[in-house]
Structure 1
Amino acid sequence: MAFPGLQHLAITVSDLKRSTEWYSRLFDAEPVLDEDEEGGEFHHTVFALEGGMLFGLHTHPGRESKDRFAETRTGLDHVAFALSGTAELEQWRDRLDELAITHGGIKKAHYGSGVSFRDPDNIALEFFIAPGT
């Protein structure tokens, strides 16, 4: 039995309104869902990405830590968005420039190439291509 791929990813943010606006600009799309979870434990805003992947923003009203993200803590290190090749990577680098989102430029390594950047909570994000693409 093959191990299944990812269907969705959800990150906790400190300011849902700010993050929703930021990700709406990045994705050039509006959320497809914005509601309180049935049990009242959290509120989520969800974007539908290419290929059926869902990307959620969560907030836990009254229980937010307000800590900025750090990949050196146990948990999430970064989120990488898959691209098809160098031309697409260059387009996304240019799109980040248009959005005035600071990034590290295109970095090449033996395991692939990417452009790293951060969201308003300092969560590490990356556009990535596999080697040879």
Structure 2
Amino acid sequence: MTTFPAVTHVAVTVTDLGVSVPWYKSLFDAEPVLDEDTGPFRHVVFLIGGGMLFGLHQFPGATGTVAFDPRRPGLDHVAFACADRAELEGWQKRLDDLGVTHGGIVDAHYGSGLSFKDPDNLALEFFAPPA
């Protein structure tokens, strides 16, 4: 074990798969590769760029009604890699075409990001390294 392994999957908990699955299908332009009820929760999983899996979990009887807040300990956001700013601009157009509200491209010395939120207010981002 000389190098730290890559991330293979991310799973987020959502309040309503009936809302989130179509939203993510549009975002990823892909169908789920798995949809199963495991007993404790149901999950729907997408295979996205680079072979990474992105899962949506819904727990029966979920009690959380407080909106996602990145200032609360836990997940802050999930970022999807873009090769460069031109690719990032392409994703901005795609979000516009999908009617997804976003914060516009923000440039910084460490790279450029395009932030947006899913139906549960989970923070997502497309990110490109500096030019």
> Normalized against structure 1, the TM-score is what?
0.95
What's the CA shift for 1:64? Answer: 4.0
CA distance in 2, matches of 1:23, 1:12: 13
Give aligned-pair identity as a percent.
61
Q: Which consecutive residues of structure 1, in runs of 5 or more, have no partner in the other structure?
A: none
User: Any idea what the Cα deviations from partners look like across 1:82-111, whole Å, max 9, x if unmatched?
Assistant: 000111100000000000100011100011
Matches within 5 A, 1:1-133: 1-37=2-38, 40-132=39-131
Superposed CA RMSD: 0.9
Aligned residues: 130
In the aligned structure 1, how far is the partner of 2:94 from the partner of 2:66? 28
**Runs of at least 4 residues off by over 6 Å:** none
In the alignment, structure 2 segments of 5+ residues that lack a partner are none
Are the aligned partners of 2:115 and 2:123 in contact in 1 as well (CA < 8 Å)? yes
- SS of 2:94's equivalent in the other structure is helix
Matched-pair contact (CA < 8 Å) for 2:78–2:125: yes
TM-score, with length taken from structure 2: 0.96
Asked if 1 retains the 8 angstrom alpha-carbon contact of 2:84 and 2:130, the reply is no
Give the whole-Å Cα distance in 1 for the aligned partners of 2:30 and 2:17: 16
Equivalent position SS for 1:94: helix
Distance 1:73 1:13 in 2: 17
